[in-house]
Structure 1
Amino acid sequence: MDNYSFPARFLDSLTGEPGFNRERFINEHLAGSPLTSVRLNPFKPSSMKINTQVPWCAEGFYLDERPSFTFDPLFHAGCYYVQEASSMFIDHILKNIRPEKEDAIKVLDLCAAPGGKSTLLNSALQSSDLLVSNEIIKTRVPVLTDNLTRWGTSNVIATNNDPKDFTHLQHFFDVILVDAPCSGSGMFRKDAAAMKEWSEANVNLCHQRQERILADIYPALKEDGYLIYSTCSYSHQENEDILDWLCKEFELESIRIPIDKEWGIVESQSDVQKAWGYRFYPGEVKGEGLFAACMRKKGDTTGTSNYKNNSQQKLPANELDIVKAYLNEPDDFYFFKVNDDWLAINREHKESLNQLHRSLYIKKSGVRVGKLAGKDLIPDHELALSLAINRNAVLSTTLNKEQAIQYLRRDNINIDVAEKGWSLMTYEGHALGWAKLLPNRINNYYPKEIRIMTQQVL
């Protein structure tokens, strides 16, 4: 890249922005590849080698070099997520605003795919908390649900809806994250296409779209609830101007988030309302471009949503007993069926699930346990990766790395096993999925949609 690769008028548009150093910004983009960072799954401790910690996220780490994540079984087991370091700042915001009380909270990640910020939020929540992870674009939902499944928790509901569909859920969420669609200038180092698509006209278009999204989702935020807003853009119109608009339109209160000066994050304030924002510039921080802010909805006189549905799906007791055996602490779960599939979600989220079902298109809820064939369970892939699985109720087969890659490619696996039946295939103690052990062969049931398709370069 050279100095003239930036879009016309892009650098000029940043002149005067808080913390922007033109020369350092250019040099950092000329320097080459960005750092690689990962965030560990606190629920699935592993042997992954880690190096320097991301200062604003306890589970975030920089790697010395970028390995082949595709051919690391621990990645497929959900032991970590490959995430840009600046994005992990959302964890720091949530942990600073989380009320110090025992009451459970409901959190919405509105623009969630591919799932990095959803798994980040989920790591900071308790099982009694609920995360609703929504993706507006239908074709991006599968990658979101796959990543949520790998993370293993059962307090998550994934939906596929436009922000205006949440209007019926007035005052439902304690925290809403809007990682808004933007002009993408913060990702220029990682995505050359974003550089080609940038224009001042597109910045203005994104600003209008961001206002529409925020106006649509605002009614779903509880009074005294928190709105976290972020973009991967440097543009004032998409960042500080949006904060001014939020303060004026909805009288939101700006929340100042404590940061360490050594982190290199630039604290800014909007022009009119002086709302606090946080800018990330490559070269100033070890990460890519990001803007983030947090605001609180002031109390008002409108009532909160109080829909209750006490109806219980009539489930065959003999079937329910079979399904329950596959989960740890089964009495802590609410079981239900969708067509022939049995699912389970933390019992305290039953009413929320019912309410969400009335208003939204639900693509994933809790953990899909599987289907019954007579008295036998055909286990689902979600159950394999779930933290809720009762390992004592299933067979388990240990794979070495070569065998694990064969399994993840959905190839035939040649191993000598004595036991027969459905088996959890594991690597270093972490589940990868299911296989059926038969007298003369092993049937590989790893989902073909997510199997490794590429050849490993040695």
Structure 2
Amino acid sequence: MNNYPFPENFLASLSAENGFDEQNFINAHQFSDAPTSIRLNPFKRPALKTDEQIPWCADGFYLNTRPSFTFDPLFHAGCYYVQEASSMFIDHILKHIRQNEHQPVKVLDLCAAPGGKSTLLNSAIGADDLLVANEIIKTRVPVLTDNLSRWGQANVIVSNNDPKDIGRLKSFFDIILVDAPCSGSGMFRKDPQAMNEWSEANVNLCHQRQERILADILPALNQDGYLIYSTCSYSHQENEDILDWLCREFELESIRIPIYKEWGIVETESPLEKAWGYRFYPGRVKGEGLFAACLKKKDNTGELGNFKNNMQQKISSRDIDQVKTYINNPDGLYYFMVNDDWLGINRAHKESLNILQRHLYLKKSGVRLGKLMGKDLIPDHELALSTIINRDAVLQTPLNYDQAIQYLRRDNIDLNPTEKGWSLMTFEGHALGWAKLLPNRINNYYPKEIRIINQAPAPHSPEG
């Protein structure tokens, strides 16, 4: 008998699942730790020491040891995201369904915080594609916004809305990812406390919540658009039963995703509609529990209608020209203002931004550039971390590791600058944020709310 503290009836509930090996599953939880994995930012390409590549994600890597990410400046620069390996399978699904499609798409990540799958989606789409990352729970929105700002792209909008609100945007999105709230059994090894919250009653409650979320959001999916559905649960009710319900109630078409046997992923079919699903079990894969599936919408739920009047403030061309100085490919952006802040988003998304502003509560749109004060731009932190900044137009100050940590803590920096003015503070060529260089001091403008507050010593730069 195993003495691992699985919840009562948990193992019995999985005994009939395809690919489930009880003893292997128990051993994986008792005798092996959750692997550490990261996904590199393809827009910043850090020079990191990585180990084994994750087979279903080209930018994903396992690390042999877990460094202190808090004390790695490249993490704060957005050079990589610390993400569980199994969840990177979404990258494989997205690339498969888009391999023969070249038209721009609008993508929604419905339950997006903290941002792992949003940054993954953002990496897999182009500048003319739009990502809307929505988080239902208001308190989780700031961490989502911070992570997407670190990623640095200008084709992103963050919203804080209920699925029913977004569902009113009929046929607006071409791809919707619903990483649904679930009972969390796939995280038992990584977070043993989750076992205390698991019960058969909670599984049934999650099943009902998942159906409600999906029914609310499906009208926003375009005809021939794709729904990617995932959970971190092993329970049949939250996975294959949901696929049967989607195919039966909404006539969605199941999409089979190619996988390799050596990956260890278990391909399943739902009992009634024979919809394809993909299960990840610790012990079979080098990762945590995941279920994922992809379905195609065949019917048309109507159109949203046209909104030609802009919601943005009118701004002068002279002011725009001042802001453009700081931007790479300045004519590729649409510039607008929110209160006193200047923002820029890929020009292709001007109309979409206007529609979304009318219907949703937006928390981030493109990149926040800063405030104009006379002829000067007071630059925003988002601009510093973005990939649209014109690095030739700004002063840059390279920092060594110790100086970078001082900067990220908002401490005084041991530095004797010879130049004056706003400076981009960099580490190994990657931007961390802004500082104002003055004759007798340096004003550190790293945002207080995301500064390093841990006072533990960091003797050397972690190898990530």
TM range (shorter): over 0.9
For residues 415-448 of structure 1, what are the alpha-carbon distances to aligned partners after superposition, in whole Å with 9 as ceiling and x for unaligned? 1111101000000000000000001000000000
Query: What CA distance in whole angstroms lies between the structure 2 residues aligned with 1:382 and 1:346?
Result: 15
For residues 175-208 of structure 1, what are the alpha-carbon distances to aligned partners after superposition, in whole Å with 9 as ceiling and x for unaligned? 0000000000000011122111000000000000
2:78 counterpart residue number: 78
Query: What CA distance in whole angstroms lies between the structure 1 residues aligned with 2:57 and 2:280?
Result: 15
Q: Are residues 252 and 426 of structure 1, via their aligned partners in 2, closer, same or farther at CA, if it must alter by over 3 Å?
A: same
**Structure 1: which 5+ runs fail to align?**
none
Question: Is 1:330 matched with 2:330?
Answer: yes
Q: Give the deviation of 1:393 after TM superposition.
A: 1.3
1:11 counterpart residue number: 11
2:95 counterpart residue number: 95
Maintained 8 Å contact 2:4/2:30: no
Maintained 8 Å contact 1:277/1:292: yes
Question: Is 1:417 matched with 2:392?
Answer: no
Q: Give the deviation of 1:103 after TM superposition.
A: 1.2
1:233 counterpart residue number: 233
For residues 30-53 of structure 1, what are the alpha-carbon distances to aligned partners after superposition, in whole Å with 9 as ceiling and x for unaligned? 014211000000000111100100
TM-score w.r.t. length of structure 2:
0.97
2:307 counterpart residue number: 308
1:378 counterpart residue number: 378
TM-score w.r.t. length of structure 1:
0.98
Letter in 1 for 2:289: G
Maintained 8 Å contact 2:4/2:26: no
Q: Give the deviation of 1:414 after TM superposition.
A: 1.9
1:217 counterpart residue number: 217
Query: What CA distance in whole angstroms lies between the structure 2 residues aligned with 1:12 and 1:303?
Result: 44
For residues 225-284 of structure 1, what are the alpha-carbon distances to aligned partners after superposition, in whole Å with 9 as ceiling and x for unaligned? 000000000000000000000011100000000000000000000010010000000000
Task: Map 1:67-216 onto structure 2 (within 5 A).
Answer: 67-98=67-98, 100-216=100-216
1:401 counterpart residue number: 401
Q: Give the deviation of 1:4 after TM superposition.
A: 4.0
Query: What CA distance in whole angstroms lies between the structure 2 residues aligned with 1:149 and 1:384?
Result: 9
* SS in structure 2 at match of 1:141: helix
Query: What CA distance in whole angstroms lies between the structure 2 residues aligned with 1:152 and 1:224?
Result: 30
Aligned-residue CA RMSD in angstroms?
1.1
Q: Give the deviation of 1:102 after TM superposition.
A: 2.9
Q: Give the deviation of 1:320 after TM superposition.
A: 1.5
Q: Give the deviation of 1:308 after TM superposition.
A: 3.1
* SS in structure 2 at match of 1:342: strand
Query: What CA distance in whole angstroms lies between the structure 1 residues aligned with 2:194 and 2:245?
Result: 26
Q: Number of matched residues? A: 456
* SS in structure 2 at match of 1:139: helix
Query: What CA distance in whole angstroms lies between the structure 1 residues aligned with 2:435 and 2:187?
Result: 40
- Once the two structures are aligned, what percentage of the paired residues are identical? 74
Q: Give the deviation of 1:305 after TM superposition.
A: 2.5
Letter in 1 for 2:232: C
Q: Give the deviation of 1:163 after TM superposition.
A: 0.3
* SS in structure 1 at match of 2:349: helix
Query: What CA distance in whole angstroms lies between the structure 2 residues aligned with 1:76 and 1:401?
Result: 13
Letter in 1 for 2:330: P
Question: Is 1:454 matched with 2:454?
Answer: yes
Q: Give the deviation of 1:99 after TM superposition.
A: 5.4
Query: What CA distance in whole angstroms lies between the structure 1 residues aligned with 2:4 and 2:316?
Result: 68
Query: What CA distance in whole angstroms lies between the structure 1 residues aligned with 2:414 and 2:4?
Result: 55
Maintained 8 Å contact 1:335/1:345: yes
Letter in 1 for 2:304: S
Letter in 2 for 1:345: I
Maintained 8 Å contact 2:422/2:436: yes
Maintained 8 Å contact 1:71/1:456: no
Letter in 2 for 1:279: R
Letter in 2 for 1:48: L
Letter in 2 for 1:57: C
Ranges of 4+ aligned residues in structure 1 off by more than 6 Å: none
Query: What CA distance in whole angstroms lies between the structure 2 residues aligned with 1:111 and 1:285?
Result: 25
Task: Map 1:4-43 onto structure 2 (within 5 A).
Answer: 4-43=4-43
Query: What CA distance in whole angstroms lies between the structure 2 residues aligned with 1:296 and 1:226?
Result: 5
Q: Give the deviation of 1:310 after TM superposition.
A: 4.6
* SS in structure 2 at match of 1:224: strand
Query: What CA distance in whole angstroms lies between the structure 1 residues aligned with 2:177 and 2:36?
Result: 24
Query: What CA distance in whole angstroms lies between the structure 1 residues aligned with 2:163 and 2:335?
Result: 28
Query: What CA distance in whole angstroms lies between the structure 2 residues aligned with 1:299 and 1:205?
Result: 29
For residues 90-145 of structure 1, what are the alpha-carbon distances to aligned partners after superposition, in whole Å with 9 as ceiling and x for unaligned? 00000000152331000000000000000000100000000000000000000000
2:462 counterpart residue number: none
**Structure 2: which 5+ runs fail to align?**
460-464
Q: Give the deviation of 1:317 after TM superposition.
A: 2.4
Query: What CA distance in whole angstroms lies between the structure 1 residues aligned with 2:262 and 2:357?
Result: 46
* SS in structure 1 at match of 2:171: coil
1:280 counterpart residue number: 280
2:347 counterpart residue number: 347
Task: Map 1:281-300 onto structure 2 (within 5 A).
Answer: 281-300=281-300
